[in-house]
Amino acid sequence: MPHNERLEFLGDALVNLVVAEALHARWPKADEGTLTRARASLVRESALADLARRLELGERLELGPGELKSGGHRRDSILADAVEAIVAAIHLDAGFEACRAVVLPWFEPLIADLPAGKADKDPKTRLQEWLQGRQLPRPTYHLLETRGNDHARIFLVRCETTDPVHSEQAEAASLRAAEQLAAERLLAILEKK
């Protein structure tokens, strides 16, 4: 069965471009950091997987026997990759304008739901700012385990602070997502103290 990594690579760039262009046009006074955070929230793996579910792509995917048995048609990483591959295929078949015409409506409701010109900072940034605001050392992240096939890896990460001493673990389909989730869990504990 052929893999779609090249299409996923191109589709990732195209989705980022379409969303960045839309945010740039809709939020003329937003700074680069705000635009970057908003784009990241819209194109992250879980958001693309949610989009794939709305489009009912999971049931249409051709997967190998192992992925079928393990429920690969429901896995965020596979669904997000499928969206990116489809976007690239549209672009290669019909050009950028047609690609934008298909992709932009997928994201317009999500963009409209964002507070105008504002986007929340990601959990790693918020944790670091919380610690820095109290003149405490930065958190550290440790990759504890990687498992699964190349196209369906799971990463287990620990986020820890030394002052105060705390740690939280999380796993996700990407290293970045696991770090973000671990940071979010740790920040929730620190904010309660």
Question: How many structural domains are present in the chain?
Answer: 2
CATH of the domain at 171: 3.30.160.20
Q: What is the pTM of this model?
A: 0.61
- Whole-number pLDDT of residue 173: 79
Q: For residue 190, give the nearest of 153, 172, 165 by alpha carbon.
A: 165
Active site residue 84: yes
In a domain, 101, yes or no: yes
In a domain, 118, yes or no: no
Query: Helices marked H in the chain — which ranges?
Result: 5-26, 32-43, 45-54, 65-69, 76-94, 96-113, 123-133, 175-192
Instruction: Pick the more confident residue, 56 or 152.
Output: 56
3-state secondary structure 147-188: ECCHHHCEEEEEEEEECCEEEEEEEECCHHHHHHHHHHHHHH
Active site residue 67: no
Choice among 12, 67, 81, 168 that is catalytic: 12
- The residue range of the domain holding 178 is 123-192
pLDDT band at 89 (very low <50, low <70, confident <90, very high): very high
Q: Do both 75 and 170 map to the same domain?
A: no
Choice among 81, 84, 168, 179 that is catalytic: 84
- Whole-number pLDDT of residue 174: 81
| Cβ 187 vs Cβ 127: under 8 Å | yes
